Amino acid sequence: MANGNKLAVFNFQTAIDKRLIQRPNKPKAKLEETVREVFAAIEQKGDKALFDYTLKFDKISSNILEISKKTIDESDRYLSQDLKDAIVQAASNIRKFHENQVEKLSPVETAKGVLCWRENRAIERVGIYVPGGSAPLFSTVLMLAIPAKTAGCKEIILCTPPNIAGVNPAILFAAKHTGVDRVFAVGGIQAIGAMACGTETIPKVSKIFGPGNQYVTKAKQIAQIEYNTAIDMPAGPSEVLIIADETCNPAFVAADLLSQAEHGDDSQVILLLDNELLAAKINSELSRQLEKLPRQKIAELALENARAIVMNNIDECIALSNEYAPEHLILACKNYGKVAEKVVNAGSVFLGNFSCESAGDYASGTNHTLPTNGYARAYSGVSLDSFIRKITFQEISEEGIASIGKTVEVMAAAESLDAHKNAMKIRAEFIANNKNKQS
């Protein structure tokens, strides 16, 4: 088994056990109870509950929720020029990718005189949750605020956990650069609760976006079910699955595995390959690179639940990957274009040896807010569509009544919905009477 700095290697050529691709389950005792308790307190006490839980959970004593415009405007003073330039370039790429998703109006005449089309309407107020803690994810601001702004959302609010100094300046700079309207220093369950319930300071939103730990995920689910607040997806701990063969670069593969493992001790790392000797080479690289990581202890904990699984061939690897439905899938194998055609379930796919997952996390342009925990079987990652509602329109002329009137009447009668039938019939009769008068 894994010893904290290597992947446990299992050989599926001799024994297939699908338990090897089960996600690690952390104890969930009192998880839902805790979330409900926080939500109830927010409903009753508003802002005061947020301060109380920030002290309890984050060990931060504060009486200020909203970050001032002055503080946000001055955030760039605390960042290097290299970091500011990087954020600006990444934002440009992300904006290009999401602007390309804007749909053109395309009316269609489904029958003579029956014109149908669909138009986009942005969700008016959205809430973005940005994890803080040991790794403040300012990149998440870019991934969520940019498509929200591109979609035309009227108000974008952001919640992120505070630290002793306030809010990380990189988060504030990214918020300023992407057009976030208001930033609040509150995190965890209480941030989700505030956006779902609304308080004296934080407005209730229509939809909540952003990743988080199991508590944030559960809070988002309860917000959706019981507080009429939509969510992007039930995204939990981050994960990567890599499919590799002899054409891969073992150092690259090891680096990609570690880039995911350093997210947190609950991150999931899986390697599928068709060569047991290759597994040994990658493990050797993994141990070497791990020693140099500042977040070594976190990565080691994640690697305790990681594994390398040797299959008979790449087709078997793809089949197992589709069953696992990874958040991130890296194809470090020959003919990866052909292999990619067989991918059914994945959040985002990275093709070839040079397409590292961290490129998608930051600057290639695709969105890094993706379904985890197998939800890629049914959910897509965040896109422009996540921030809009699609409303259908139809315009029916007299000619349209003639085209589809009888069909509507017959179907309505068959369902015993006479008022439905009459709504069409009365129009048809009106048109017929007018024609008779004119003739």
Copy the structure tokens of residue 285.
């690289």
Q: Which CA distances in Å does 318 have to 261, 282, 321, 341?
A: 22, 19, 5, 10
Is residue 8 included in any domain, yes or no?
no
Are 244 and 271 members of one domain?
A: yes
Provide the CATH number for the domain around residue 317.
3.40.50.1980
Sheet holding 388-396, edge to edge: 108-111, 114-122, 388-396
* CATH code, domain with 408: 1.20.5.1300
Cα–Cα distance, 249 to 231 (Å, whole number):
38
pLDDT value at residue 154 = 98
If asked whether residues 212 and 240 sit together in one domain, one would say: no
Q: Please check whether residues 171 and 301 belong to one and the same domain.
A: no
H or E element that contains 274: none
pLDDT for position 8:
80
pTM equals 0.92
Q: What was the pLDDT predicted at 3?
A: 60
Number of domain units in the chain: 3
Same domain, 46 and 174: yes
**Helix-, strand-, coil-residue percentages of the chain, each rounded to 5:** 45, 15, 35
Q: Are 231 and 166 in contact (CB under 8 A)?
A: no
- Residue 367 to residue 95: CA distance in whole angstroms: 10
pLDDT tens per residue, range 284-313: 999 999 999 999 999 999 999 899 999 999
Domain boundary among 336, 351, 380: 380
In single-letter form, the type of residue at position 427 comes to: R
Same domain (yes/no): 370, 411: no
Long-range CB contacts (within 8 A, 24+) of 196-200:
196/39, 196/222, 196/223, 196/227, 196/229, 197/39, 197/42, 197/43, 197/227, 199/42, 199/46, 199/47, 199/49, 199/50, 200/46, 200/47
Give buried/exposed letters for 384-398 (b at 16+ CB in 10 A, else e). bebbbeeeeeeebeb
> Do 319 and 170 share a structural domain?
no
Where would I find the H helices in 291-417? 296-303, 314-324, 336-340, 357-362, 398-414
Query: What pLDDT, on a 0 to 100 scale, did the predictor assign at position 4?
Result: 65
Asked if residue 68 is part of any domain, the answer here is: yes
Q: What pLDDT, on a 0 to 100 scale, did the predictor assign at position 2?
A: 47
How many residues does the structure list for the chain? Answer: 439
Both tokens assigned to 399: 């000619």
Q: Are residues 146 and 241 in the same domain?
A: no
Among residues 207, 232, 257, which one ends one of the domains? 232
Tens of each residue's pLDDT in the chain, 439 residues: 346 677 888 876 555 566 777 887 666 668 899 999 999 999 999 999 999 999 999 999 988 999 999 999 999 999 999 999 999 999 999 999 999 999 999 999 999 999 999 999 999 999 999 998 667 899 999 999 999 999 999 999 999 999 888 899 999 999 999 999 999 999 999 999 999 999 999 999 999 999 888 899 999 999 999 999 999 998 778 899 999 999 999 999 999 999 999 988 888 999 999 999 999 999 999 999 999 999 999 999 999 989 999 999 999 999 999 999 999 999 999 999 999 999 999 999 999 999 999 999 999 999 999 999 999 999 999 999 999 999 999 999 999 999 999 999 999 999 999 999 999 999 999 999 998 888 7
Task: Name which of 191, 208, 229 is nearest 47 in CA terms.
Answer: 191
Q: Give pLDDT, residue 20.
A: 74
The amino acid occupying position 279 is: A
- Cα separation, 122 vs 125, in Å, equals 9
Q: What angle do CA 103, 106, 111 make, to 5 degrees?
A: 150
Q: What whole-number distance in Å separates Cα of residue 216 and Cα of residue 51?
A: 17
* Domain contains 10: no
Q: Rounded to whole angstroms, how far apart are CA atoms 150 and 343?
A: 29
What pLDDT, on the 0 to 100 scale, is given for residue 16? 54
| Residues 6 or more apart whose Cβ sits within 8 Å of residue 260 | 238, 239, 240, 267, 268, 269, 302, 328, 357
The verdict on 225 and 240 lying in the same domain is no
* Helix or strand (DSSP H, E) at 201: none
Summarised one tens digit per residue, pLDDT across range 34-57 is 999 999 999 999 999 999 999 999
Asked, for residue 20, whether it belongs to a domain, the answer is no
Residue 325 within any structural domain of the chain: yes
Among the candidates 168, 197, 232, a domain finishes at: 232
**Are residues 281 and 206 both part of a single domain?**
no
In a domain, 386, yes or no: no
Residues 50 and 185 reside in one and the same domain: yes
Residues 222 and 241 in one domain: no
Cα end-to-end distance, the chain, whole Å: 90
Domain with 42, as residue range(s), is 31-232
User: 431 in a domain, yes or no?
Assistant: yes
169 and 252 belong to one structural domain = no
Residue 324 lies in a domain: yes
DSSP 72-138: HHTGGGGS-HHHHHHHHHHHHHHHHHHHTTPPPP--EEEETTEEEEEEEEE-SEEEEE---TTS--H
- Catalytic annotation, residues: 327-328
The owner of tokens 């904006």 is: 95
